[in-house]
Amino acid sequence: MQRAQVMRGSWLGILVAVLAPAVGLAGQVPDDSNIRAMGFGDFNYLVTERDLKEGFRMGQMVGHVIADLDERFTFFGEVSLTGKDNGYSIEVERALIRYDFADEFKIAVGRFHTPIGYWNAAFHHGSWLQTSVARPEMIKFGSRFIPTHFVGVIAEGGLPGSSLGLGYKVGIGNGRAENIARAGDAGDINDHRAWVARVRSRPIAIVGLEIGATFYTDQLLAPDLTDTRERIYSVHAALDRDAPEILAEYAHVTHDPMTGSGSFPGSDGYYVQIGYRMSGAFRSIKPYARVEQVIVPNGDEVFEPLNLNYDGVVAGIRYDPGVFLALRLEYRWERFEGLGAFNSLYTQASFVLSGF
Amino acid sequence: MKGVDIVRSTVLALVMIAAAGPMVSSVDAQTEGAEAVAIVVHPEVTIDGLSFDQLKSIFLAEQQHWPDRSRITLLVRAAIAPERDLILSEIYGMTEDRYRQYWISKMFRSEVASGPKIVFSTDMLRDLVTVIPGSIGFVPVSEVGPDLKVIPIDGMLPGDEGYPLN
C-alpha cells in the first residue's frame, strides 16, 4: 500500500470514517461479540525554533479492530490517518491473522510492528498509551534507523508456568523496502529475507517489568546500490508502570557490504525515559524526562548519507483528567545533524476510545 | 520562536497545570472491608489447584490456555465490587485506571483477542462460570455454593492461614 495515497476532504469526515467502528462497537456490542474495536487519536500545538510550521496540528487517528475468525484464529487490524499539508495519508499499519495453538506456540502472518526492542511494539501508534508526546528518535514515525514494520510470518510463545515469564518471537519477512523506512509490502526487493528473533522475560513477581533482547538481520541495497548485510542487536529493560516508569532501550546496527572485505563500525541508538506518577490529590499528574541519542559513524554506507545523528532531551508533564484522556506539555531540546540545535514546546491531547 | 519565549511559555503552562492540579481521576483500589475471595472455575476445567504465580499469570493473560489447550475465559466483576478491588490490589497491584490501561495495552499489542468478560453481580458470575467452558472467576467466600468448583491456591482455601486472597 502506498503511503502517498492522500485523501482529500474534511478532517471531520475522515475522523468519523476511522473511528466510527470504535465508537459504534466500543462497549455497545454484546460481550460475546466476535468483533472488538478501539480508536486512538491526538491533537497537538507546537511552538519551535525548528524550521517547521507552528500552531495547531492534527495528530494521528488510528482505528483498531480485533475479530475472532474461529476459536483459534484471530484477526488484528490497524489503520491510521495522518494529517499532511494536502490532506491525510492513510496507512494499513497492521493486518495479521494469528493461529493460537497453545501459549507456547502461536503463529501469525501479515504486517506487524517489528518486534525489535520495547517501544515499537508496546506503544507505536497508540499515543495515549505512552507517557510522552512522541516516540524516541530511533523509532520515530517513518524511522530509518529501526525498521518499524515487518511483513511476513512471526511465531511466538511463552512459558506461562515459569516465574520468569519467558517468551520468544521468531519471524521471517521481506525486510526493508528500497525506501528503507518502509516495509516490503509488495514483496521483497531481493531474494534474501529478513529474520528477527526476540526473547524476553516478564517476571510474574514484578508486574510491568520486561527485559529482552532482539537480533534482526536482512540484506538491503545501500544508496550506491551495493548489496549490504544489515544486522541489528537490541536490548531493552522496561518497567512499564506509573510510579516509577523506567524505559530503556539500546540498538546497535551494522551494515557490511556483501562483496569485498572489511567490516564497518556500527551505528548506535538509545533512549532512557523515566516517569513518576504523583500521589494523593495530584495523582493525575505524571512528570517525565527522556534522554536519547542516535550515533552514526563515518563509514556507515547506509545511514551516513541520511544525516541521522541526533541528540535529544525531553521533559514534560502528563495530566490525566479522565481515564481515557491524557494532556501533555513537553519541552524538547534537540540537535539534528547538519541543522543545529533547537528548542521546542509541544502540547498534546490524546485519547483512546475503548469499551473496556 | 526564540528559546527564551519557549521557556517562558513552558513556565506559564506548568503554572496553569499546577493550578488545575487537584483534579483527580477515577477510583483508587480500596480493599478495606473486602472479604476473602474464592477462585472458581468451570466444572470441566481439569485442574485441581494453582500456585499464586500461576493465578497471577492467568489474570495477567500471560497464560491464556489451560493445560488441555482450551482457551481461558476470565470473568471479572465490574468496578466498585469490593472483591474486584481485592483482586486489583493483590494480583494486579494496580489502580482501577492502570488496570484499564493494562488491558487496552494488551489488546493494542495483539497479545490478547479481548479483555476479561465484565460481570455485574455475583449471581451472574456464578451462572456464567458454570456455563462458559474454560472460565475462571472469583466470588466472595460467603457466596460460594455447592455448584461452584473452588480452586486451592498454593494448596490453601479461603480462610486458611496464609491464603493469598484473604
Report the CATH number at residue A187: 2.40.160.10
B14: nearest CB among A96, A161, A317: A317
Taking the C-alpha atoms of residue A198 and residue A207, their distance in angstroms, rounded to an integer, is 20
Cα A313 from chain centroid?
19
Q: How many A×B Cβ pairs under 8 Å?
A: 135
Burial class (CB within 10 angstroms; exposed 0-12, middle 13-18, buried 19+) of B46: exposed
Mean pLDDT of A66-86: 92
* pLDDT the model gives residue B9: 53
Note whether A126 contacts B105, CB cutoff 8 Å.
yes
Q: Answer whether the bond into residue A21 is a cis peptide, omega within 30°.
A: no
Question: What residue numbers bound the domain in which B102 lies?
Answer: 29-150
- Minimum CA–CA partner of B70 in chain A: A102
Q: Phi/psi class of residue A225: alpha, beta or left (left: φ > 0; alpha: ψ in -120 to 50)?
A: left
Asked if residue A179 has pLDDT above 90, the reply is no
Mean pLDDT of A224-236: 90
Asked if residue B3 has pLDDT above 60, the reply is no
> Is the residue at B164 inside a domain?
no
- Minimum CA–CA partner of B61 in chain A: A160
> Is the residue at B159 inside a domain?
no
Chain A, residues 253-292, CB within 8 A of chain B, namely: 281-285
Residue B141 grid coordinates: 467466600
CB contacts of B10 in chain A (<8 Å) are: 329, 331, 345
Tally of domains in chain B: 1
Largest CA distance in chain A: 64
Neighbours of B18 (CB within 10 A): 13
Asked if residue B77 has pLDDT above 60, the reply is yes
Q: Is A53 an 8 Å CB contact of chain B? A: no
Q: Whose CA is closest to A185, among A176, A193, A194?
A: A176
CB contacts of B47 in chain A (<8 Å) are: none
- Using pLDDT thresholds of 50, 70 and 90, give the confidence band for residue B47: very high
- Using pLDDT thresholds of 50, 70 and 90, give the confidence band for residue B35: confident
CB contacts of A327 in chain B (<8 Å) are: 17
Phi, psi of A323 (to 5 degrees): -65, -35
Note whether B7 contacts A64, CB cutoff 8 Å.
no
- Residues 6 or more apart whose CB falls under 8 angstroms from that of A119 comprise A130, A135, A136, A139, A247, A249
Tally of domains in chain A: 1
Residue B51 sits in a domain whose CATH number is 3.40.190.10
Taking the C-alpha atoms of residue A326 and residue A339, their distance in angstroms, rounded to an integer, is 32
- Minimum CA–CA partner of A119 in chain B: B109
* pLDDT the model gives residue A337: 95
Note whether B53 contacts A205, CB cutoff 8 Å.
yes
> In angstroms, what is the C-alpha Rg of chain B?
20
Most confident of A160-164, A226-230, B59-63: B59-63
> Is the residue at A1 inside a domain?
no
Note whether B113 contacts A323, CB cutoff 8 Å.
no
* Model confidence pLDDT, tens digit, residues A27-61: 433 455 689 999 999 999 999 999 999 999 988 99
CB contacts of A200 in chain B (<8 Å) are: none
Q: Is A207 an 8 Å CB contact of chain B? A: yes
Note whether A96 contacts B110, CB cutoff 8 Å.
yes
Instruction: Enter the ipTM.
Output: 0.88
More confident residue, B52 or A355: B52
B118: nearest CB among A31, A129, A241: A31
* pLDDT the model gives residue A264: 76
* pLDDT the model gives residue B32: 52
Asked if residue B29 has pLDDT above 50, the reply is no
How is B5-43 classified by DSSP, letter by letter?
A: HHHHHHHHHHHHHHHTTT---S-----TTPPPEEEEE-T
Q: What does each C-alpha distance from A240 to A59, A129, A166 come to in angstroms?
A: 24, 10, 17
- Minimum CA–CA partner of A122 in chain B: B109
Q: What does each C-alpha distance from A62 to A4, A21, A92, A179, B9 come to in angstroms?
A: 17, 11, 10, 23, 30
* pLDDT the model gives residue B90: 94
CB contacts of B103 in chain A (<8 Å) are: 356
- Going along A8-72, which residue ranges are E strands? 35-48, 55-68
Closest CA–CA distance from residue A289 to any residue of chain B (Å): 14
Contact A348, A319 (CB under 8 A): no
A329: nearest CB among B2, B13, B23: B13
Question: What residue numbers bound the domain in which A43 lies?
Answer: 6-353
* pLDDT the model gives residue B5: 56
Percent of chain A scored above 70 by pLDDT?
A: 90
* pLDDT the model gives residue A10: 44
Largest CA distance in chain B: 73
- Residues 6 or more apart whose CB falls under 8 angstroms from that of A97 comprise A69, A73, A74, A75, A108, A109, A110
Note whether A161 contacts B108, CB cutoff 8 Å.
no
* pLDDT the model gives residue A22: 46
Q: Whose CA is closest to B140, among B70, B56, B52, B77?
A: B77
Mean pLDDT of A310-338: 97
> Is the residue at B12 inside a domain?
no
What value does the mean pLDDT of chain A take?
89
Is residue A282 classed as helix, strand or coil in its secondary structure?
helix
Structural element, H or E, at residue A73 = strand A73-84
> Is the residue at B54 inside a domain?
yes
